[in-house]
Amino acid sequence: MRKYGLVALGTAGLLALSACAGEGAGSGDGGGDDAGSQAPEDILVGVSMPTQTSERWIADGEAVESGLTDAGYEVDLQFANDDIPTQSQQIDQMITTGADLLIIGAIDGTALSSQLEAAAAANIPVISYDRLIRDSEHVDFYVTFDNYQVGVQQATSLLVGLGLLNEDGSEGDAEGPFNIELFAGSLDDNNAHFFWDGAIETLQPYLDDGTLTVPSGQTDIEQAATLRWQQETAQKRMEDLLTAAYSDGTELHGVLSPYDGLSRGIITALQGVGMGPSIDEGLPIVTGQDAEIASVALIDQGVQFATIFKDTRKLAEQAVVSGEAFLAGEEPEANDTETYDNGVQIVPSYLLDSDIVYADNIESLLIDSGYWTADEVASGVAE
């Protein structure tokens, strides 16, 4: 509590200071300076999302937009095409058109320092959305999931798929040894490191006692990383790994994948050398993240083994609630004030929980909650 009080004071102090400095960023209506006294329809919220190549970010953007619109605010929602200059320019534009609040899902967590400087100078609070913006003192709040725990869940689902654990966490019947390969996300995304750390620390005891082996020897995050989380990059790396470490007949049993798009690239590579096509027919266990509809359908068909469900509706709602607090001149409620050090400050955060999706709980987790319909799961296409 005391710690949060100090952090909150720090942020408020910062806002007060930058308000005193009175240096507008050349903005139309002066940005966030007086949002507290404005009618909602006069308040503009800039929402910057990284890409539309993955359906989760489209859903995130639209859910944040509709939550804010329902609350009466004007919203400028932009997607940056996974291109850093595009995102920087979109945020610059939001600041100059007088945004009162920014909600940002960054492409590269370290690339937005000058935009955040400008936002602070115009007294615009900044909420880092899902991915932490690093190396800036001007990140006011962070809404995300418990990213380390997501990594733990990814590794756990791999262990369950291999039969070393049961879904309830008890020890499974399998003994191994098993051969696995490891994939990580984009190194410029702070989350990729949390996912990796959670996963590797979960797998470490099995790697140490020889139950699990990585035949390629590629066990560093730098070797396993996938720039910009690109599916084709993961497919290519998997093809290369198969050629380098498995063409002598070595069997591959499982692949740690931190995102469904990568998982589908990996599965394509595995099937391309004649494995599977399903797990029952010898396809290695492949994990995932995001419960993308194409992957949920593959899980339903017994091709991909698992994914991690992060309910983006809840994250969007949390971003809206936190944003409303700033606009009312208050501090948003944090439930973690220790974990997310962005290199310059510990950013007060609100973390949400995630769940492992297996074939047998698609219905209870995803269909019953209205995230996907049974028809979408059957077709693999969002309607």
Please say which residue, 11 or 289, places its beta carbon nearer to ligand BGC: 289
Candidates 88-96, 153-161, 183-191, 330-338 — which segment interacts with ligand BGC by CB under 6 A?
A: 183-191
Q: How far apart are alpha carbons 310 and 356 in whole angstroms?
A: 9
Please say which residue, 108 or 324, places its beta carbon nearer to ligand BGC: 108
Q: Does 146 bind ligand BGC (CB under 6 A)?
A: no
Please say which residue, 189 or 324, places its beta carbon nearer to ligand BGC: 189
Paired with 79 in beta bridges are 49
Nearest CA among 128, 168, 201 for reference residue 350: 128
| Two tokens, residue 106 | 């960054």
For ligand BGC, the binding residues in 185-244 under the rule CB under 6 A are 185, 189, 191, 229
In the complex, minimum distance from the CB of residue 141 to ligand BGC, in angstroms, rounded to a whole number: 17
Q: How far apart are alpha carbons 310 and 150 in whole angstroms?
A: 9
In the complex, minimum distance from the CB of residue 223 to ligand BGC, in angstroms, rounded to a whole number: 19
Taking the CA atoms of residue 145, residue 196, residue 283 and residue 371 in that order, the dihedral angle to the nearest 10 degrees is: 10
Select the residue interacting with ligand BGC from 131, 134, 237, 264 (CB under 6 A): 131
Please say which residue, 131 or 134, places its beta carbon nearer to ligand BGC: 131
Q: Does 289 bind ligand BGC (CB under 6 A)?
A: yes
CA 203 from chain center: how many Å? 21
| Two tokens, residue 326 | 């700033």
The helix/strand/coil state of 182 is: strand
Q: What is the phi/psi pair of residue 252, to 5°? A: -110, 130
CB 35 within 8 A of CB 43: yes
Strand order in the sheet with 101-104: 74-79, 44-49, 101-104, 126-129, 141-145, 349-352
Q: Does 60 bind ligand BGC (CB under 6 A)?
A: no
Please say which residue, 46 or 185, places its beta carbon nearer to ligand BGC: 185
In the complex, minimum distance from the CB of residue 354 to ligand BGC, in angstroms, rounded to a whole number: 9
How many residues bind to ligand BGC according to rule CB under 6 A? Answer: 12
In the complex, minimum distance from the CB of residue 151 to ligand BGC, in angstroms, rounded to a whole number: 11
Q: What is the phi/psi pair of residue 71, to 5°? A: -80, 0
In the complex, minimum distance from the CB of residue 191 to ligand BGC, in angstroms, rounded to a whole number: 4
Q: How far apart are alpha carbons 288 and 268 in whole angstroms?
A: 14
Amino acid letter, residue 191: N
Candidates 25-33, 59-67, 184-192, 205-213 — which segment interacts with ligand BGC by CB under 6 A?
A: 184-192
Q: How far apart are alpha carbons 101 and 75 in whole angstroms?
A: 10
For ligand BGC, the binding residues in 87-126 under the rule CB under 6 A are none
Q: How far apart are alpha carbons 337 and 140 in whole angstroms?
A: 12
In the complex, minimum distance from the CB of residue 258 to ligand BGC, in angstroms, rounded to a whole number: 7
Please say which residue, 84 or 327, places its beta carbon nearer to ligand BGC: 84
Q: Does 290 bind ligand BGC (CB under 6 A)?
A: yes
Select the residue interacting with ligand BGC from 11, 27, 54, 318 (CB under 6 A): 54
Select the residue interacting with ligand BGC from 82, 130, 140, 181 (CB under 6 A): 130
CB 238 within 8 A of CB 255: yes
Q: What residue ranges bind ligand BGC (CB under 6 A)?
A: 54, 56, 130-131, 185, 189, 191, 229, 259, 289-290, 310
